[in-house]
Amino acid sequence: MKLIVGLGNPENKYLKTFHNLGFLAVEETARLLGLEFCKEKCRAMIAEGIINGEKVVLAKPLTYMNLSGESVRDLVSFYKIPLENVLVMYDDYDLPKGKVRMREKGSAGTHNGMRNIVLHLGSENFARLRVGFRPSEPIMVPLIDLVLSGIKEEDKEIFARAISLSAKAGQDFANGVPVQKIMLSVNGN
> Which sequence positions are flagged as catalytic?
19
Give the separation between CA 116 and CA 174, rounded to whole angstroms.
24
Give the separation between CA 119 and CA 48, rounded to whole angstroms.
26
Q: Which H or E element spans position 30?
A: helix 21-33
Torsion sign across C-alpha atoms 106, 101, 150, 44: negative
Locate the DSSP E strands across 7-53.
Answer: 39-41, 44-51
